[in-house]
Amino acid sequence: MIVIGAGVVGLSAALAAQARGLSVTVIDRDGPAAGASAGNAGAFAFTDILPLASPGILRKAPKWLLDPLGPLSVPPSYALQIAPWMYRFWRACAPRAVAHSTVAQTALMDLSKAELEPFLAATGTLPMLEKRGNLQVYEGAAELKASADGWQARADHGIEFHHLTASEMAALQPGLAPRFTHGTFTPGWYSIADPKLYTLALAERFRANGGEILRGEVVGLRPDDAGVSIAIAAGEPLRADRVVLAAGAFSHRIARTLGEKIPLETERGYNTTLPPDAFDLRMQVTFGGHGFVISRLSTGIRVGGAVELGGLQLAPNYKRSETMLRKAKAFLPDLKTGSGVQWMGFRPSLPDSLPAIGRARATPRVVYAFGHGHLGLTQSAGTARLVADLLTDRASAIDITPFSPQRF
């Protein structure tokens, strides 16, 4: 079988398939860890059970969209093209839709958390796991109060968190600006030492298990009675008895060759990674009101986040990275902002904030595993389990109906 995509989701699925005794080859346009898997914030955000599509984001969106460098933006040149996706996103923010998505998201989060440490142990990457928690900070009691529904949803699911005063926050994470008067600490928020190094380690384990990773741009799939023909942009076609499509933000283009129009869009994420001594960061800190986080990695301090719905073709706008870095300096006055490395990557996002996990309509030989948005790393081990179940015709560990690629 062949897995298309050598990011964290594709490689996790490939390793899970190997563990079930399948012979697997991976193909990727740029090689392992070349996309969003390299530049994410490094968090296993299992407590982040609320979908991005929600009434809360609708309340913030008008203000954010007025700022071209704010937490949510749509470049004017892309506005018309993304309008149908935005309409679906708006519909997914209805309370009934949010409740449905939250149940599904929670089930996938629970599975992903349960699968993570056994998966890390099996792949030799367990030493890279860190359990420092997350601190969400607020500028005043009103901002904390506005988040109450989300925290109640977490409480209803038994997720541990602690609301903190300014002095309690300072004891956990010194160096915050006094504008942050309230906070919430979530101890069940894990992280990886460095997401790129982790994904590369998965690639090495996959090769050590006998797998092969090829470079090539897949441009189409054509099923027949004997298997699936995989068209490559520059090269001879490949054949496989089964295919997993986990090509991130490029997946919908390939799915279209099977006759499926899946409304996947690209959240262009930006960050700057500073040297490790840039700040004494004790845990990941989330500045929710400004749409970005700051994370400690083994390779540096990463400041990044925000959402730019701009597709795959527009040139990067690194002013977004610079804006976040300036804000980070204001929020953490002791932060050293020199010698940073900027990055932009594509997050594959579906309008209801749930990934597409399931078989293609055209053939059961093709399994989809893409569209995780901000949560690819977080949900990688759980997705790998579900994909392996599909490939080996086992009962799924959870109900995958909400993730059906045909739900749109």
pLDDT at 109: 97
As its CATH architecture, domain 1-51+95-130+190-264+350-408 has 3-Layer(bba) Sandwich (3.50)
Residue with tokens 């982040």: 48
Higher-pLDDT residue of 358 and 226 is: 358
> Do residues 228 and 365 make contact, with C-beta atoms less than 8 angstroms apart?
yes
State the average pLDDT over residues 184-198.
96
Return left, alpha or beta for 315; rule: phi > 0 is left, psi -120 to 50 is alpha, else beta: beta
Residue with tokens 């002791």: 334
Those residues whose C-beta lies under 8 Å from the C-beta of residue 167, and which sit 6 or more positions away, are: none
How far apart are the C-alpha atoms of 389 and 128, rounded to whole Å?
A: 26
Min mean pLDDT across 17-31, 84-98, 105-119, 393-407 is at 84-98
pLDDT at 234: 87
Residue with tokens 């804006």: 323
State the average pLDDT over residues 302-314.
89
State the average pLDDT over residues 338-356.
95
Q: Where are the domains of the chain?
A: 1-51+95-130+190-264+350-408
Higher-pLDDT residue of 225 and 369 is: 369
State the average pLDDT over residues 330-336.
97
Report CA 283 to chain centroid distance, whole Å: 19
Partners of residue 213 on adjacent β-strands: 26
Question: 290: helix, coil or strand?
Answer: helix
What pLDDT digit, counting tens, does each position of 204-237 carry? 999 999 999 999 999 999 998 889 999 999 889 9
When pLDDT is cut at 50, 70 and 90, the band that residue 183 belongs to is very high
When pLDDT is cut at 50, 70 and 90, the band that residue 347 belongs to is very high
Mean pLDDT score of the chain: 94
For residue 324 the two structure tokens come to: 């976040």
How far apart are the C-alpha atoms of 136 and 151, rounded to whole Å?
A: 11
How far apart are the C-alpha atoms of 276 and 258, rounded to whole Å?
A: 46
State the average pLDDT over residues 53-57.
76
For 70-114, the DSSP string reads SSEE--GGGHHHHHHHHHHHHHHTSHHHHHHHHHHHHHHHHHHHH
State the average pLDDT over residues 131-135.
96
State the average pLDDT over residues 258-265.
96
- Burial (0-12, 13-18, 19+ Cβ within 10 Å), 355: buried
Cα angle vertex 351, ends 346, 355, to 5°?
A: 70
When pLDDT is cut at 50, 70 and 90, the band that residue 76 belongs to is confident
